[in-house]
Amino acid sequence: MPTPRATPRTLPALALAGVTCLLSACAPGPTQPLASAPVSATAEAAPTATPCPKDLAPIARCLSGKDSAGAYYLVAVPQQWNGHLVLHAHGGPALGAPKMERSVEDLERWAIMVRAGYAWAGSTFRQGGVEVRAAAEDTERLRQIFVRHVAQPQRTILHGQSWGASVAAKGAEMFQTTADGKRPYDAVLLTSGVLAGGTRSYDFRTDLRVVYQYLCNNHPRPTEVQYPLNIGLPADAAMTQADLTARVNECLALNKPVAERTPEQQRKVKTIVDVIRIPASSIQGHMNWATFHFRDVVQHRTGGASPFGNRGVQYRGSPDDAALNAAVLRYRADPAAVARFAQDTDLTGRIPVPVLTVKGVDDPTAFVELDAAFRATMAQGGSAARLVQTFTQHNTHSYLSDPTYPTLMTALLRWVDAGDKPTPEGIAQQCAGMEATFGKGCAFLPGYVPAALNTRVADRERP
């Protein structure tokens, strides 16, 4: 059944404002550009010794601390240190207050860097939620703490993973010289990155919310207060991730094998897979993001208005596209919210150092087409010559394989030190040589070129 359209009389004040703006020609006033807070580690306390994760304890020493902004951090220096630092910006982002456990998990995942001889430093960031500039500031503060209290690295590589790739790219744009006129970062490594900026990267999650509601009509239920789906969730809603999971399984039975789903449940799953172009295994995760992270953005980053919209989208791939497009709920992104979100999350492409990226072509979380958008951004920013993109035959997001990352680091440092710009073909060949040390797992596709983002996620009206 098509989802009933929300009416203003059913909405709380915040949602009513969003729908009123949708139905009328709202013209919010301009927002002021976001200024980068000065970052200095002059008064930062020194980190203290802490146990390393079990697998690294025999080969490294670890240090930890909490910076003046409230971010926890963890540092690992191998006993056989090659003199280079990997400064890590983690993915996610998590919601809620930062916890030291996050940096421990990150170091465990990226232990390959330490095993390959690199020092590693990662921050939890001072806060949870979708705020890119603040995370970039926390990462730069950690670099300064490392230099001041641990050692002066020969080279510093800024590494961003997933959402953290946008943090690293933004940080490379924001921090281009140190107080003594040097580069804070010698190069940037972006892995499995969300790199089309916040105003483009999450469009498909808006589409997921409205298509899911068209099919399932239980988020919210007809008996509950209706709200614009592009706000994620009302500020005072008590829903938890477990509650949302239960609702999704109620409709789609994602917790059951395909053979145990009803024909109707499987039809709905297939419709989402075909229209949104995500695997069934990713539906729950993206629904979580389109619910709780969207609420974080709207409530804490964009002044209560939503930067997400789907006006003008033509959905394709369902059993009846005409019925879907006629009935699906439509939302207009608020212009002021878009501007504020863009200031924090969108990239300029003005990065003055070498940038190397890698992405699995079947990444279920950060579409490979996002890298095409990033390539265009770098070209627009005058940095096309400083970008090399690589792609692999992996269908994972959080981690590709052990030999992949040392291969990329070696190529990136050779580019920095000798001016030897890598090629995807050369990197693929070099990876094979890394397998003797780091195990099997090379899967580079040197000739792969991603299609434009709008071939994967439909164009829409923009403010």
User: According to the model, what pLDDT value does residue 43 have?
Assistant: 87
What do you get for the CA distance between the two ends of the chain, in Å? 31
Please tell me the pTM assigned to this model. Answer: 0.91
Q: What is the DSSP string of 87-138?
A: EEE--SPPPSS--HHHHHHHHHHTHHHHHTT-EEEEE--SS-SS-HHHHHHH
Whether 149 and 319 have beta carbons less than 8 Å apart is answered as no
pLDDT band at 41 (very low <50, low <70, confident <90, very high): confident
The gap from C-alpha 337 to its chain's centroid, in whole angstroms, comes to 19
Determine which of 2-11, 121-130, 169-178, 317-326 has the lowest per-residue pLDDT on average: 2-11
- What pLDDT score was predicted for residue 39? 84
Q: Residue 2 — very low, low, confident or very high, per pLDDT cuts 50/70/90?
A: very low
With b for 16 or more beta-carbon neighbours within 10 A and e for fewer, the 345-365 pattern comes to bbbbbebebbbbbbbbbebbb
The tens digit of pLDDT for each residue in 407-450 reads 999 999 999 999 999 999 999 999 999 999 999 999 999 999 99
What pLDDT, in 10s, does the model give residues 126-182? 999 999 999 999 999 999 999 999 999 999 999 999 999 999 999 999 999 998 889
Query: Mind listing the pLDDT tens digit for each residue in 212-255?
Result: 999 999 999 999 999 999 999 999 999 999 999 999 999 999 99
Q: How much is the pLDDT for 32?
A: 37
Q: Which pLDDT tens digit goes with each residue over 273-285?
A: 999 999 999 999 9
Does residue 195 surpass a pLDDT of 60?
Answer: yes
Indicate if the pLDDT at residue 388 is higher than 60: yes
Domains plus CATH for the chain? Answer: 8-21+199-339 (no CATH), 56-197+347-455 (3.40.50.1820)
Q: If residue 250 lies in a helix (H) or strand (E), which one and from where to where?
A: helix 241-252
Rounded to an integer, the average pLDDT of 112-123 is 98
Residues 6+ apart with CB under 8 A from 264: none
**So what's the pLDDT on residue 37?**
53
